[in-house]
Amino acid sequence: MRKISLKNIPYLEELHEVNKVFNLKKITKNTRTLAEREVHHNKIVGSLEEAVHRVGLQNGMTISFHHHFRSGDFIINMVIDKLAEMGFRDLVLAASSLTDCHAPLIKHIESGVIRRIETSGLRGRLAEAVSDGLMDVPVVFRSHGGRAGAIEQGDLPIDVAFLGAPSCDPYGNANGYIRDRDEGIMCGSMGYAKSDATHADKVIVITNHIVHYPNTPFAIPESDVDYIVKVDEIGDPAGIMTGATRFTTNPKELLIAELASKVIFASGRFQDGFSFQTGTGGASLAVTRFLRDKMIEKSIRASFALGGITGSIVELHEQGLIKKILDVQSFDLRAAQSLRDNRFHQQISAGYYASPYSEGTAVNQLDVVVLSALEVDTGFNVNVLTGSDGIIRGAIGGHPDTSFGSSVSIIVVPLTRGRIPCVVKNVNTVVTPGKTVDIIVTDHGIAVNPLRKVLRQRMIDNGLPVFTIEELQKKAEQLVGIPKPIEYTDKVVGVVTYRDGSVIDLIYQVKQ
Amino acid sequence: MKQQLRRTMLYVPGNNPGMIKDAGIYGADCVMFDLEDSVSLNEKDAARFLVYEALTSLDLGDKEHLVRINSLESGLGLADLEAIVHTGKAVIRLPKTETPQDVLECEAQIARIEEAAGLPMGSTKMMAAVESAAGVLNAREIALASPRLIGIAIGAEDYVTDLKTTRSEDGVELLFARSAILLAARVAGIDAIDTVYSDVNNEEGLRKEVQLIRQLGFDGKSIINPRQIGVIHEIYTPTKKDIDHALAVLDAIQEAERKGSGVISLNGKMVDRPIVLRAQRVISLAKESGVLKEGVYAQD
């Protein structure tokens, strides 16, 4: 080998990265086989505790979690229990969402392990406790797009992400399913976890299945992962998802779904190559069925379907009616299996889905979105977060993101639920501003945002039952009367942010 | 005068406020609040109050509402009549009618209540439901018993039990009863309404049964779930071909009248009275069901 002196290189000072001479002694070739390497050289650590030590978690830091295991999630409770045991305090819990299975967090909030929470939603006992003033620092609610945007921009910096994964290889390539078998925990897309993995300072994957390298195609690449912890159980399959979301047989939901599909046909957006998203909720999901029949009849194919994906969307894809699926969250086993098996069923991150800071974000390419609501008011503002009793019982999800991004946003909501009016003068909590909401579809008729004059005329021309939103509100009032106003204290328990992080509403403690 | 369609009569339990408040939204031709079999004995009073309030406070539009009362002999029927007749807003559906006397007894009570309430005499209409062998054999007399009657219906469950049989898929055991009731209705010039199809998840079975009763000549069917409305209306709605033919028949009549010709012909075939009546019925049904507007077929 040539003897090298750096000084012989002209203009060395301009070649910044060229600054040392090769040293053969530093090189040791590893002749171990793949099988041996997987065992002896990997990122797997012996315990959660060890992983926490290694990432250098400290009091007051922000830890993040995803909600792809829904109400079957074991990860959050497992990790916080361990952190409490290790004596951590004042942590910021930034989850993509929290649900009814996270009630055990109450004791960790009371004991000071968790100082504050960031989430898309809260449900069950934890939600009730927060509404009742459990926390000193209000919970910050963000939409899926708003959260991804805040993480990207550094407004919500994550110190350590603890990401549950149904499969992971020894280097951190993690996935929402196990490629070679159907058993085990399957959550399909890991879209919300992807954003955290990309931007968190440290990432710990917690899995119950270490699979062989390479676990491709992967949701999270090894380059984003620092440590892997193997545990026996990461969740309860029954709480994560069921086989296939069944279509509702509730006649009222079907009525609303059929009317919503007629609205889509009349909207001028129902053309070959259109794009759409249907949200959760019986009526919203059932719209797909009515769309299907009309798509076949009119030889119309959708270019893509977006969002939380269900088996009914997969069915349309496999029938050739939807060319591509962009999946940030798989709602049922059928969707998860399709993600694994179908080439044009693409897993996307929360940022790709709905970040407000990218013109190309998927929600901006939507022609039509159909969304549910708890309440809608005469200003077309939508509440998906607090119930008629003022207590938190929902999640923002992608509601404001898709409403803003889509060409036409359609909200499906019954005029009344039992004795509760759902079209009201003022919603309890504004989550999605009325300016971005186009059509309200109820079981008693539809209302079009006065800002959308052409759209309104199209609905009338197609013989749809168009009312003003005030008329619908009065109808609801006539049926069930005016509820007594909810009484609040002056304590703020929740801060509702819009996509850009600005505060759009506050949630107050309900007076007992 | 608008002809009242009765393709679908939606049963709504009279003790269920949630269902009552939404009964009108599904597009059934008629809504029927039930005070009888779907209401347990300890809820009879509550249901009566609830249905009374619904009739007097909900926006009913121009939809026909019926109330199935308890029989007079049950001891509950009279209170039902007192409440419902007073509203002046519902047709009284009599359960388990066996003889013309049943109709007359009820009519006498209605007339008394109308008079006491200052309602126009005869303004409360009635409908009789036949649910037994005796009722079927008396169908003609029942149908002719009162000018207040707007229709006669068959209730199959009790009837087949009375016959010592059960309901079958093709409904062969109901053939005589259906035919008897239909003939009685036509003799009296009132509507014939078929029994419920209770397997709400079997759309194919419902479709077959509705095709059968439409072919027999029934005007419509009682239903227990709003999901059944679409199928029934679809089968009862005249097709574009039916309508085009009917319009051609009516054109031929006008043409013949203009020419002063006594013989009407269409495409070389003579058009006689039954053909004209059928054509008129098709057009009337098409207009009422909304597929024919001002002579133009409204569906693409």
Q: Which residues of A touch B10 (CB under 8 A)?
A: none
For the cut 90, the answer to whether the pLDDT of residue A96 exceeds it is: yes
Q: Could you say which residues from 379 to 418 on chain A have a Cβ atom under 8 Å away from some Cβ of chain B?
A: 416, 418
Q: What is the pLDDT of residue B116?
A: 95
| pLDDT 10s digits, A187-216 | 999 999 999 999 999 999 999 999 999 999
Picking from B21, B58, B227, the nearest residue to A251 by CB comes out as B227
More confident of the two residues A217 and A380: A380
What's the CATH code, domain A40-240? 3.40.1080.10
| pLDDT 10s digits, B182-210 | 999 999 999 999 999 999 999 999 999 99
More confident of the two residues A245 and B46: B46
Question: Angle at Cα B86 formed by Cα B85 and Cα B90, nearest 5°?
Answer: 45
Chain B: closest CA distance from residue A286 (Å): 14
CB atoms within 10 A of CB A483: 13
For the cut 60, the answer to whether the pLDDT of residue B2 exceeds it is: no
Picking from A251, A416, A418, the nearest residue to B226 by CB comes out as A251
DSSP track, A9-67? STTGGG-TT------GGG-------HHHHHHHSSSEES-HHHHHHHHT--TT-EEEE--
Q: What is the pLDDT of residue A388?
A: 92
Does residue B26 belong to the interface with chain A, where contact is any CB pair within 8 Å? yes
Structural domain ending residue among the three candidates B236, B261, B285? B236
Fold of A251-488: Glutaconate Coenzyme A-transferase (3.40.1080)
Residue with tokens 């007051």: A60
Does residue B1 sit within a domain?
no
Q: Which residues of B touch A444 (CB under 8 A)?
A: 25
Region B53-82: what's the mean pLDDT? 94
Instruction: Indicate which CATH number applies to the domain containing B204.
Output: 3.20.20.60
Q: Are residues B55 and B79 in the same domain?
A: yes
User: Which of A258, A95, A66 has the alpha carbon at shortest distance from A165?
Assistant: A66
Q: Are residues B153 and B254 in the same domain?
A: no
Residue from B25, B56, B223, B224 to probe the interface with A (highest A Cβ count within 10 Å): B25
Q: Which residues of A touch B225 (CB under 8 A)?
A: 251
Region A119-133: what's the mean pLDDT? 97
**Confidence band (pLDDT; 50, 70, 90) for A425?**
very high
Q: What is the pLDDT of residue B299?
A: 46
**CB neighbour list of residue A118: distance below 8 Å, 6 or more residues apart:** A92, A93, A94, A95, A139, A140, A141, A142, A147, A156
| pLDDT 10s digits, B276-287 | 888 888 888 888
User: Which of A183, A162, A132, A204 has the alpha carbon at shortest distance from A507?
Assistant: A132
Does residue B223 sit within a domain?
yes
Does residue B21 belong to the interface with chain A, where contact is any CB pair within 8 Å? yes
Structural domain ending residue among the three candidates B183, B217, B236? B236
Euclidean distance between CA atoms A285 and A288, whole angstroms: 6
Are the CB atoms for A321 and A344 separated by under 8 Å? no
Q: Which residue of A has its CA nearest to B229?
A: A251
For the cut 70, the answer to whether the pLDDT of residue B275 exceeds it is: yes
User: Which of A139, A143, A113 has the alpha carbon at shortest distance from A126?
Assistant: A139
Q: Which residues of A touch B201 (CB under 8 A)?
A: 249
User: Residue B227 and residue A443: Cβ atoms within 8 Å?
Assistant: no
Q: Which residue of A has its CA nearest to B58?
A: A479
| pLDDT 10s digits, B168-185 | 989 999 999 999 999 999
Does residue B58 belong to the interface with chain A, where contact is any CB pair within 8 Å? yes
Q: Are residues B91 and B148 in the same domain?
A: yes
**Confidence band (pLDDT; 50, 70, 90) for A244?**
low
Q: Are residues B58 and B154 in the same domain?
A: yes
Q: Which residues of A touch B26 (CB under 8 A)?
A: 251, 255
Domain that holds residue B177: 8-236
Q: Are residues B162 and B45 in the same domain?
A: yes
Q: Which residues of B touch A254 (CB under 8 A)?
A: 227
The fraction of chain A above a pLDDT of 90, given in percent, is: 89
Q: Which residue of A has its CA nearest to B19?
A: A418
User: Which of B88, B90, B94, B91 has the alpha carbon at shortest distance from B113?
Assistant: B88
How many domains, in total, are found in chain B?
Answer: 2
- Rounded to the nearest 10 degrees, how much is the dihedral formed by the CA atoms of A373, A375, A381, A385? -70
Euclidean distance between CA atoms B66 and B92, whole angstroms: 6
Euclidean distance between CA atoms A270 and B160, whole angstroms: 50
DSSP A486: P
Strands A503-510 and B8-13, bridge-based pairing: unpaired
Question: Angle at Cα A425 formed by Cα A419 and Cα A430, nearest 5°?
Answer: 100
Does residue B2 sit within a domain?
no
Q: Are residues B105 and B223 in the same domain?
A: yes
Q: Are residues B227 and B256 in the same domain?
A: no
Q: Which residue of A has its CA nearest to B226?
A: A251
Task: Return the structure tokens found at B76.
Answer: 């509950």
User: Which of B36, B27, B25 has the alpha carbon at shortest distance from B8?
Assistant: B27
Does residue B260 sit within a domain?
yes
Euclidean distance between CA atoms A366 and A381, whole angstroms: 20
Q: Which residue of B has its CA nearest to A477?
A: B58
For the cut 60, the answer to whether the pLDDT of residue A121 exceeds it is: yes
User: Residue B226 and residue A416: Cβ atoms within 8 Å?
Assistant: no
What residues form DSSP beta bridges with A45?
A229
Q: Which residues of A touch B223 (CB under 8 A)?
A: none
Residue at B194: amino acid letter: D
Picking from B26, B59, B201, the nearest residue to A255 by CB comes out as B26
Are the CB atoms for B7 and B219 separated by under 8 Å? yes
**CB neighbour list of residue B168: distance below 8 Å, 6 or more residues apart:** none
Residue with tokens 């079957």: A72
Distances (CA, A) of A116 to A57, A141, A214, A483, A487: 16, 11, 38, 33, 25
Picking from A254, A444, A479, the nearest residue to B227 by CB comes out as A254
Distances (CA, A) of B157 to A300, B162, B167, B244: 46, 9, 8, 40
Q: Which residues of B touch A479 (CB under 8 A)?
A: 21, 58
User: Residue A251 and residue B201: Cβ atoms within 8 Å?
Assistant: no
Q: What is the pLDDT of residue B1?
A: 44
Region B234-263: what's the mean pLDDT? 85
Q: What is the pLDDT of residue B191?
A: 97
| pLDDT 10s digits, A51-62 | 999 999 999 999
DSSP track, B121-151? TT-S-EEEEE-SHHHHHTHHHHHTS-TTEEE
Task: Return the structure tokens found at A231.
Answer: 């545990």
Euclidean distance between CA atoms A173 and A42, whole angstroms: 12
pTM (2 decimals)?
0.90
The fraction of chain A above a pLDDT of 70, given in percent, is: 99
Task: Return the structure tokens found at A25.
Answer: 């002694």
Region A430-453: what's the mean pLDDT? 98
Does residue A261 belong to the interface with chain B, where contact is any CB pair within 8 Å? no
For the cut 90, the answer to whether the pLDDT of residue A385 exceeds it is: yes
Q: What is the pLDDT of residue B300?
A: 40
Q: What is the pLDDT of residue A240?
A: 86
User: Residue B18 and residue A249: Cβ atoms within 8 Å?
Assistant: no
Does residue A444 belong to the interface with chain B, where contact is any CB pair within 8 Å? yes
Count of alpha carbons within 13 angstroms of residue A156, beta-carbon side: 31
Does residue B127 sit within a domain?
yes
Domain spans of chain A, in order of start = 40-240, 251-488
DSSP track, A430-476? -SB-GGG--EEEETTEEEE-TT-HHHHHHHHHTT--EE-HHHHHHHH
User: Residue A443 and residue B59: Cβ atoms within 8 Å?
Assistant: no
Does residue B289 belong to the interface with chain A, where contact is any CB pair within 8 Å? no
Euclidean distance between CA atoms A424 and A439, whole angstroms: 15
Q: Are residues B138 and B198 in the same domain?
A: yes
> ipTM value of the model?
0.82
**Confidence band (pLDDT; 50, 70, 90) for B298?**
low
**Confidence band (pLDDT; 50, 70, 90) for B94?**
very high
Residue from A248, A255, A477 to probe the interface with B (highest B Cβ count within 10 Å): A255
Q: Which residues of B touch A252 (CB under 8 A)?
A: 22, 25, 226
Q: Are residues B101 and B25 in the same domain?
A: yes
User: Residue A418 and residue B18: Cβ atoms within 8 Å?
Assistant: yes
Q: Are residues B182 and B47 in the same domain?
A: yes
Structural domain ending residue among the three candidates B236, B257, B281? B236
Chain B: closest CA distance from residue A272 (Å): 19
